[in-house]
Structure 1
Amino acid sequence: MNFFRKLERKFGRFAIPNLMYYIIMMYAAGFVMSLFNPYFYVQYLALDAAAILRGQVWRIVTFLVCPPQSGVLFALLAMYLYYSIGSTLERVWGTFRFNMFFFMGVLGHIIAAFLVYGVTGFSVPMSPYYLNESLFLAFACTFPEMQFLLIFIPIRAKYLGMMYGALLVYSFLTGGIIAKIEIVVSMLNFIIFFLMTRNYRKISPKEAVRKQKFKNEMQKAQIQKISLTRHKCAVCGRTEKDDPNLEFRYCSKCAGNLEYCMDHLYTHKHVTEEELKDSK
């Protein structure tokens, strides 16, 4: 967290407010393009390392112009969900930190594409699929108790995040070298976010000793039955602990803030300033 704060102080003015709005606009543009030509994205816009090396450098940015597939209704719902998740994270984290998370994901995708091409010799066009999923995983970690309606069944975000995490692990274990590189490098933004935003103080030895010391002191206080009273009769010394039905009043004729129970309020001897000083 200190590292993020230092970066924010230095580069925070360059952060893009409401970043998800512009990303969703790119998704919408890609969706309209796909209606006219479904192959245009793969041919000219997808993240293709070989094509980039041939001079098509615009693919480093245009690969983001890829809306969710599977029909008009699903695409609109998915874009609304991504916008809600992204804008919520930006409000909670702050603009700079959300920008860092998103662009680290973009950089991870670019590195993954070139790694796959360099290791295998094959250029595999990549979309921002894992980038979108990393947003959801980050949301699930930030708001684990948030509920989503899955076929009208409320499910907490942490359980959906665990399910997707399990699918990622399964895909990594059963996939080939290309799948492994894509998953690990493309999800680097979430991995770095998860590691750098953990509160390691909670598991530090000093914190464990402090908690144990506090627990022991609280147990001693319970054993000794330490209790404070609010009222005490200046004559008999009784308090509200002795009898919860006792009533106490101040005497306007006595010096100092002396309280008396109702049994002694009208029968006590008034205390003067000299007597109060002598008693001290």
Structure 2
Amino acid sequence: MRWLTALENRLQWVAFPGLFKYLTFLGVIIFAWQWIDPTVVERISFDRSKILSGEVWRIISFAFAPTGTGSLTPIGILFLFFAVMIAFLINDSLEQVWGPTRTTLYLMTAWVGLVIGMFVFDPGTLPAGRYLYTSMFLAFATYFPNYEFRLFFILPVKVRYLGWLALAMMLISGFANPVMWCVVIPTLIPYALWVLPAEIQGRAALAQAAKRRQKFTLSQKSEAEAFHTCATCHRTEHDDSDLEFRTMIDGTEYCVEHLPVDDSADKKSD
């Protein structure tokens, strides 16, 4: 979309390379901090009434814990480690495709959308930070659909299926509880602006390329087909460019070397 490209060119100054990495790192700090002080998550989560009362830092701090709350267990630490590694992979991959400017704008659009949605509809305390993670994950799953994760270190699963699962879970949560649309829709807005149009155009280009390839193949095939074929020796003009052919009344073709003898003419001569 041209207007998005123009916007990116005008807003290159907002580019923040590795922004998603920093948010993830801050999330890890909050995740570890809550083991010491369980109330820390409550103090940084989004709360409209407290924001209006002056705690404006919640507009930003709610995104620092995208993994939510959890207990200090080996399994919890392991899953946290892989979540961080995946977040770093997503950030590096999208910056490779888009560059830092578009990646930053994508993330900030989802962030601002979540703030507006929760501020207007006041859904209460929600782990909204994880929806930033989901939005970035959907973009990654679209651009790298064949990338594989090994669930439980054994089962290989392509990331596109995990992307479809994440999208389905968001939509189900919205239909099950309409108030959740205030976080689901902002999560999908940047995807609809940056990813979906490019995906549609890419698929259309692939379809056109497939049609051109099929047309070219058919034309090559038609050129390769022989126009003349001898009914006796089965040679064609491709076998010998100087070979001459004759067509009988019944449509059968023969090369000059295998023309059938006219028996009636022989009898008359006798």
TM-score (norm 2): 0.71
Identity %: 24
Alpha-carbon offset, residue 47 of structure 1: 1.5
C-alpha contact 2:66 2:133 (8 A) present in aligned 1: no
Label 1:214 to 1:80 Cα distance change in 2 as closer, same or farther (>3 A).
closer
> Are residues 126 and 110 of structure 1, via their aligned partners in 2, closer, same or farther at CA, if it must alter by over 3 Å?
farther
Choose the corresponding residue for 1:168, options 159, 170, 184.
170
Q: Which ranges of structure 1 fall in alignment gaps of 5 or more residues?
A: 228-240, 244-280
Paired AA for residue 97 in structure 1: R
Q: 1:126 to 1:212 in 2, by over 3 A?
A: closer
Contact 1:15/1:99, CA 8 A, preserved across alignment: yes
- The residue that corresponds to 2:34 in the other structure is 34
Q: Which has the higher helix share?
A: 2
Q: CA deviation at 1:34?
A: 0.9
Q: Give the count of matched residue pairs.
A: 221
Structure 1 residues 1-280: aligned runs within 5 Å: 1-42=1-42, 44-68=43-67, 69-70=69-70, 71-117=76-122, 123-151=124-152, 152-175=154-177, 177-200=178-201, 203=204, 215-216=214-215, 218-225=217-224
Structure 1 stretch 149-158 or stretch 8-17: which is displaced more? Answer: 8-17
**Residue number in structure 2 paired with 1:232:** none
Does the CA contact (< 8 Å) of 2:146 and 2:160 recur in 1?
Answer: yes
Which protein has greater RCO, CA pairs closer than 8 Å, 6+ apart?
2
**Superposed displacement of residue 58, structure 1:** 0.9
State whether residues 45 and 125 of structure 2, in contact with CA within 8 Å, keep that contact through their aligned partners in structure 1: no
Q: 1-side partners of 2:32 and 2:173: how far apart? A: 31
Report if the CA contact (8 A) 2:66-2:128 is conserved: no
Seen in structure 2, the aligned counterparts of structure 1 residues 150 and 174 have a Cα distance that, compared at 3 Å, is: same
Greater shift, 187-196 or 33-42, is seen at 187-196
SS of equivalent residue, structure 2 residue 55: coil
Task: Report the CA distance between 1:95 and its aligned residue.
Answer: 0.6
Query: Hey, what does 1:261 align to over in structure 2?
Result: none
Q: Secondary structure, in 3 states, of the residue corresponding to 1:194?
A: helix
> Could you say what secondary structure the match of 1:187 adopts?
helix
Within 2, Cα distance between the matches of 1:110 and 1:67?
Answer: 15
Q: Give the 3 Å change call, closer, same or farther, for CA 32–198 of structure 1 in structure 2.
A: same
Q: 1:172 touches 1:179 (CA, 8 Å); kept in 2?
A: yes
Quote the Cα distance in structure 2 between the aligned partners of 1:92 and 1:172. Answer: 30
Give 1:220 shift: 3.5
Quote how far apart the aligned CAs of 1:184 are.
1.8
For the residue of structure 2 that corresponds to 1:149, the secondary structure is: strand
8 Å contact kept, 1:108–1:185 = yes
- Opposite residue 23 of structure 1, the aligned amino acid is L
Q: CA deviation at 1:169?
A: 2.1
In 2, the alpha carbon distance for the partners of 1:185 and 1:21 equals 21
User: What is the CA deviation profile of residues 147-183 of structure 1, one whole-angstrom value per residue up to 9, with x for unaligned ones?
Assistant: 11012100111111112222222222222x3123222
* Change over 3 Å in CA distance of 1:217–1:22 after alignment to 2: closer
1:31·1:67 contact (CA, 8 Å) conserved in 2? no
Which residue identity is paired with 1:76? F
- Partners of 1:14 and 1:169 lie apart in 2 by 31
Task: State the 4+ residue runs in structure 1 displaced beyond 4 angstroms.
Answer: 201-204, 210-218
